[in-house]
């Protein structure tokens, strides 16, 4: 058993992307130059382990490079794990199934997770607490009223991701 959380920061056109891996599984990813910003959001059983910078995380880092080079489905191949209630897990699974190049509304995401359209707020909450962007692509969810809506890493990052994926 690996008793560390391994971290790597990769450059992207929209800013640095930190990846955190435990035992070969991606547990956090986000647009920050400081992996500790992601680390403190992890569940206690993982923050009990030391954060260890590494030069190459292997498959997750390769997937990011491939995604940036135009393989828009490369991120889908990375094994990941994040905490959440059974409902949140269904929402995150439905979110991960939204293909690159497409977008959904919060109400549509709720429906895809087997919830009523009125559960749009729960879908928004799942997106807001998503620890593994852009692998769990909350950037592909847009408000039905128009515009970009919120995004943890800022609207310019969300807009860049959607343009990169030809969703705009």
Q: Is 20 helix (H, G, I), strand (E, B) or coil?
A: strand
Contact between 25 and 11 (Cβ < 8 Å):
no
* Nearest Cα to Cα of residue 6 among 22, 30, 27: 22
How far apart, in whole angstroms, are the C-alpha atoms of residue 129 and residue 156?
19
Distance set, CA 95 to CA 1, 34, 101, 140 (Å): 30, 26, 13, 8
Catalytic status, residue 127: no
How far apart, in whole angstroms, are the C-alpha atoms of residue 17 and residue 135?
11
Burial of 66 (0-12, 13-18, 19+ CB in 10 A): middle
Q: Which of 91, 95, 138, 167 is labelled catalytic? A: 138
Catalytic residues: 138
């Amino acid at each position: 058993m690996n008793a560390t959380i391994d971290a790597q920061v990769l450059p992207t056109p929209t800013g640095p992307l930190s990846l955190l891996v435990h035992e070969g599984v991606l547990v956090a990813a986000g647009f920050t130059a400081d992996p500790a910003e992601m680390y403190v959001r992890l569940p206690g059983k993982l923050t009990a382990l030391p954060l260890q910078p590494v030069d190459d995380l292997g498959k997750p880092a390769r997937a990011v490079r491939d995604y940036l080079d135009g393989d828009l489905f490369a991120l889908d191949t990375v094994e990941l794990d994040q905490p959440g209630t059974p409902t949140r897990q269904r929402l995150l699974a439905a979110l991960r199934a939204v293909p690159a190049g497409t977008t959904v509304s919060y109400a549509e995401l709720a429906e895809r997770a087997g919830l009523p359209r009125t559960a749009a707020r729960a879908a928004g909450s799942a997106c807001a607490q998503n620890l593994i962007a852009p692998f769990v692509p909350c950037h592909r969810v847009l408000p039905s009223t128009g515009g970009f809506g919120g995004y943890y890493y800022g609207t310019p990052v969300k807009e860049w991701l959607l343009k990169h994926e030809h969703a705009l």
